[in-house]
Amino acid sequence: MPTHDLIVLGASAGGVEAISKLVAGLPPNLPAAVCVVVHLRPYSESHLAQVLERAGPLPVVPAKQNLPLRQGTIYVAVPDVHLLVHRDGDEAVIRLVHGPRENRSRPAVDPLFRSAALAFGPRVIGVILSGALDDGIAGLWTVKDRGGIAVVQEPDDTAVPSMPASALADVEVDHVAAAEMLGPLLGRLAREPVSPQARAEALTRRRDDDYHQRSERYGEPSRFPCPECGGVLWDTSGQGPVRFRCEVGHAHSAASLAESQTEVVEAAMWAALRALEDKVALSRRRATIARSNGLAVLAEQFAVEEQAAQQHATELRSLLRLGGRTGIRPKAGSNGESVQNPERAAANRPQAERGTGGEIDPVDGALGTDARTI
């Protein structure tokens, strides 16, 4: 009877510390292969494999094309390529793909989780650790939907709680624990046989899996453009978390798309501020010329234009001090909770109500993780 012999881990900001604690608790005879994705800068050298090698008892190797996965070994994503798991008979093989960025990252967590779930279904354990925004949530939902096990780091135990909190809000998570407790938990789960119910449900989903893998365009066209290429985003959410994909393959979660929209708005505001301040300078100069030529009425008109542009520029600059964000908090309901909190978030964990904004990574800078895009 098959066991849960494939573990996939995803993290971004603050994730190296969490993964190190998790790896330290893994048993030396772990009967599962482990694949790890942490957001990395495209052209940096990652030292994550060496860090994790020192942290725990298992061997750690950087991912390589067509490398077979072996139990008791940890495989770490490398910069600027997605780490995927491909099925070759009953064997799992690594595929490295320089494909479109997902959630503004490459490597991204979602492609690993999705490929593992579609290839090995209920044999997969998906783990979401510390990170900003919500990369990996759609992938974790796929793991769970294909009969696998969903595990999340306790948000209060993270450096950046957004990814675990988002997972608790959107996925029916099986286990929540602090990072140092996750290693022993995964060691136990890896030895548990896949339940007959999970195997039966996985068989009924094979047709959907084939469609998912073949389809180049599915879902409904949305009103949103792709922040990466400007193409139409297709709503591919289905019954899972909100998710969009464009014609060429760029994928965005709700939080990733919102963050991109914030950047677009902020860029437009800076451009508008520059134009307004240019107008102030030009109106002032025209007023000065008019006065020197004795054209008092025209000089007054230019002075009014200068004053109006200056007022608009001042208001716009005050908005930009918020970093493009409103600073407005959700309204509270009659019970004091946000009216926008998903029911599943309340059912799973109160910490799921915590924000999913683009927090800056307080650690990991020397390890090649990208604090700018996560």
Cβ atoms within 10 Å, residue 193: 12
Tell me how far apart the alpha carbons of residues 126 and 32 are, in angstroms, rounded to a whole number.
12
Contact criterion met (CB below 8 Å) for 207 and 190: no
Query: Would the CA dihedral through 89, 93, 96, 102 be positive or negative?
Result: positive
DSSP-assigned beta bridge partners for residue 82: 97
Cα separations in angstroms, 336 against 37, 333, 340? 37, 5, 12
> What span, in angstroms and rounded, lies between the C-alpha atoms of 171 and 181?
21
Cis peptide before 107 (omega within 30 of 0): yes
Give the pairing type, strands 6-11 and 251-253. Answer: unpaired
The values of phi and psi at residue 190, to 5°, are -65, -25
Q: Where are the alpha helices (DSSP H) in 121-250?
A: 137-145, 162-170, 179-191, 196-204, 206-214
Q: Residue 50, Cβ neighbours under 10 Å: how many?
A: 13
Give yes or no for a contact between 10 and 341, defined as CB atoms under 8 angstroms apart: no
DSSP state of 135: T
Active site residues: 12, 39, 135
Q: If you ran DSSP here, which 8-state letter would residue 148 be given? A: -
C-alpha 12/C-alpha 105 separation (Å) is 10
What does the DSSP assignment read for 33-95?
EEEEEE-B-TTSPP-HHHHHHHHSSS-EEE--TTPBP-TT-EEE--TTSEEEEEEETTEEEEE
DSSP-derived secondary structure letter, 151:
E
| Residue 25, amino acid | G
